[in-house]
Amino acid sequence: MDFLYHNIHFIGAFGLMFIGLYMIAVKKNLIKKIIGLGFVETGINLFLIIIGYIKNGTAPIFSKAGLDPARMVDPVPQALVLTAIVINVAILALALGLAIRLYGHYKTLNVEKIRGLKW
Amino acid sequence: MVSTVWQNPVLLIVVPLGLAFFTPIIGLIRKELVKYIPILGMLFNLTLSLFLLPKVLDNPIIVSLSGWKPPFAINLFVGPVGILFSILISLVGLLTAIYGINYIKKGAVEKYHMLFLLLLTGATGIVLTGDIFNLFVFFEILCISSYALVAYNQDKNGIEAATKYLIQGSLGSAFILLGIGFLYGLFGTLNMADIARNITTVDSPALFIAMALFITGFGVEAAIFPLNAWLPDAHSSAPSTISAILSGIAIHIGIYAIFRVLYTLFGFNSIFTVLAVIGIVTLLIGEMSAFRQENIKRVLAYSSMGQMGLIIFALSIGTVDGISGGLFQIITHTLSKSLLFLCVGYMVYSTNSMELSSLNGLGKRMPLISLLFTIGVFSLIGLPPFIGFPSKLSIILAGLKTGETLFLILIVLMLLATVIEGVYFFRIIQILYFKEPDKEERFKTPFTLLFPVIILGLLIVAIGIYPGLLQEILDRSAEIFWDKLSYIKIVFGG
């Protein structure tokens, strides 16, 4: 139980990633695959945030006196996540746009029926 | 170190990036001007890279952005390998952009040229950067613009191939981000030189996981064997200019990223044996799949996959000779495969079909293009006096020099793959020259389509006859690429 208590955030992050990987691998509907992609990326963002997180931490701004640097949250992973979110938005938007076009050509989103090329 | 503003290597990234963002605005004013913007940007990059090459051969240039010193700033590591790649990128980009003037006519032209420039910017950024997260961002720029460009024709095949490529590719980049997360968790820094100098202090399974994640993630782009299902579809469904860029540049960038991370950051020697075997497996599978294709662009795409295997094998030999051979093979493949895709692009454009049977007798109908196609094919197979001969020879010599039985067996398999490659390529040559054409009339090739192909053909023959032109540059590049300690020393100015 102690292990669970200390690592629950890691389990959550990797759990999200595995749910996403499962969806990409197993689901046949293209939209569900894209949602799975979103899950994987959210899991990774969560993981990055956890790396730099300190419980009851403060923002690393030296404006007020008497702030303890050891209690400051590492800002670098948060900057990384901000960048990663922007990239993910681009990827998901492009993916959904392609899915719409694909539906226009095939009238289905089932990847087993979309077989113009060899999958 | 950098004497004037115009010699700053940052411009290699800034100029094409800026031009890419100005492209839609210029498109609003005059639509015809848009297609000349990539030419302008790549001409600038080519000139600057050629100018920088002799300087970085002696001393790699470190550029720290916004005035901070590494490891606090994002720094660029402008070494001979980076400049060599930058020359290749801008050369192929320039020639493909010239080819595109008359080739890309329908569709959203200004978006095509914008994404084209962004793709090349991403590639240049990856080879120059010295920061692992910066590398990831440029990698995403490269990947996202290539997903969109594969779907440019908006036909059934293009969209389907792009969707496949997008799902596999973005899963790959997600792995890279996860690997970066592990590295940051272990070292608290993103600067590659800083990680490299501290890597021996940490002995944790997380390090191995991070390495595996990097190899898998970049491996999707580099088309390593179990991760390359997207490649034949994407390369064959894209417009031919984009196929040339993807086959000539994008996949090599994936390989560069893998080996930059392996050589500089991790340096586990045991992984190289595994990668050498995977490389040869990729080579054999690629060549055997190419053998039974009936679609000319799919043949070339599978052949690219095979060549990637060969390059991975060469770079995994783990000696300076092997790396020099691998870099030489990258140059060979870039020049030959872009030449082939551009030639085939024109053939497909004129005959409106990608089936091999539609090429019957084209040797009589478009003699110059067919001749150049033949040069490209001979160079890929490795026949003298073309560039493929010295590069393959140097890989074989480097492998034999190690004197290990495993490498001997792998080289035999590599030669076997070359034979398979020869058989299917000679079949295409036979179709071109010895089958009777359906019609007699000749095609007139526009100058803008002919010029890039001729330049590529001339380069292939010229370097093939005087490989000494490149050998010295390659050896020096390989030395710096391989040497982790000097990398750290150069970045921190010790």
Report the candidate in B68, B198, B64 with the shortest Cα–Cα distance to residue B490.
B64
Q: How far apart are CA B305 and CA A117, in angstroms?
A: 17
Mean pLDDT along residues B326-332: 93
Confidence of residue B215 (pLDDT cuts 50, 70, 90): very high
Q: Which residues contact B276 (CB under 8 A, 6 or more apart)?
A: B312, B313, B316, B317, B406, B407, B410
Among A51, A84, A94, select the one facing B185 at the smallest CB separation: A51
Report the candidate in B228, B22, B304, B244 with the shortest Cα–Cα distance to residue B120.
B244
Q: What is the pLDDT of residues A76-103, one digit of tens each?
A: 888 999 999 999 999 999 999 999 999 9
The answer to whether B226 faces chain A, any CB pair under 8 Å, is no
State the alpha helices, DSSP H only, in chain A.
2-26, 30-52, 75-106
Q: CA-based angle B453:B14:B479, to the nearest 5?
A: 70
HSE (side-chain half, CA atoms, 13 Å) at B124: 30
3 state SS of A55 = coil
Percent of chain B surpassing pLDDT 70:
99
Confidence of residue B1 (pLDDT cuts 50, 70, 90): very low
CB-CB neighbors (< 8 A) of B133 in chain A = 80, 83
| pLDDT of A31 | 93
Confidence of residue A118 (pLDDT cuts 50, 70, 90): low
**C-alpha torsion angle, residues B377, B383, B389, B392 (rounded to 10):** 80
Cβ contact, residue pair A94, B161, below 8 Å:
no
| pLDDT of B488 | 86
| pLDDT of B403 | 83
Q: What is the CATH number of the domain that holds A100?
A: 1.10.287.3510
Query: For residue B124, what are the domain limits?
Result: 2-492
Confidence of residue B146 (pLDDT cuts 50, 70, 90): very high
With a cut of 90, say whether residue B6 has pLDDT above it.
no
Mean pLDDT along residues B380-404: 89
With a cut of 60, say whether residue A62 has pLDDT above it.
yes
| pLDDT of B177 | 94
Among A44, A74, A119, select the one facing B174 at the smallest CB separation: A44
Mean pLDDT along residues B207-213: 91
The answer to whether A62 faces chain B, any CB pair under 8 Å, is no
- Work out the mean pLDDT of chain A and round it to a whole number: 86
User: What's the one-letter identity of residue B413?
Assistant: L
By CB atoms closer than 10 A (0-12, 13-18, 19+), residue B92 is buried
Among A44, A80, A98, select the one facing B159 at the smallest CB separation: A98
Q: What is the pLDDT of residues B23-36, one digit of tens each?
A: 989 888 888 888 89
| pLDDT of B57 | 86
Percent of chain B surpassing pLDDT 90:
48
Mean pLDDT along residues A23-27: 92
Name the least confident of B59-68, B201-210, B384-393. Answer: B59-68
Q: What is the pLDDT of residues B439-486, one digit of tens each?
A: 777 777 788 888 999 999 999 999 989 888 888 888 888 888 888 888
Cβ contact, residue pair A33, B137, below 8 Å:
no
Name the least confident of A18-22, A98-102, B379-383, B489-493. Answer: B489-493
Counted domains in chain B: 1
With a cut of 70, say whether residue B3 has pLDDT above it.
no
CB-CB neighbors (< 8 A) of A119 in chain B = 164, 229
Confidence of residue B2 (pLDDT cuts 50, 70, 90): very low
Confidence of residue B224 (pLDDT cuts 50, 70, 90): confident
| pLDDT of B106 | 81
Mean pLDDT along residues B339-368: 85
Interfacial B residues in 411-430 facing A (CB < 8 Å): none
Q: What is the ipTM of this complex?
A: 0.93
Query: For residue A22, what are the domain limits?
Result: 2-56+65-116
Counted domains in chain A: 1
Q: How far apart are CA B480 and CA B80, in angstroms?
A: 8
Q: Which residues contact B114 (CB under 8 A, 6 or more apart)?
A: B20, B21, B23, B24
Report the candidate in B335, B214, B207 with the shortest Cα–Cα distance to residue B275.
B214
3 state SS of A112 = coil
- Work out the mean pLDDT of chain B and round it to a whole number: 88
Q: CA-based angle B335:B222:B256, to the nearest 5?
A: 70
Interfacial A residues in 71-110 facing B (CB < 8 Å): 74, 76-77, 80, 83-84, 87, 90-91, 94-95, 98-99, 101-102, 105-106
Report the candidate in B212, B357, B197 with the shortest Cα–Cα distance to residue B274.
B212
Mean pLDDT along residues B297-306: 91
| pLDDT of A119 | 45
Cβ contact, residue pair A94, B167, below 8 Å:
no
Mean pLDDT along residues B215-240: 89
Q: Which residues contact B149 (CB under 8 A, 6 or more apart)?
A: B112, B115, B116, B119, B238, B239, B242
With a cut of 90, say whether residue B153 has pLDDT above it.
no
Name the least confident of B43-57, B205-219, B356-370. Answer: B356-370
CB-CB neighbors (< 8 A) of B170 in chain A = 37, 41, 91, 95
Q: CA-based angle B419:B425:B429, to the nearest 5?
A: 135
How close B159 comes to chain A (CA, Å)?
6
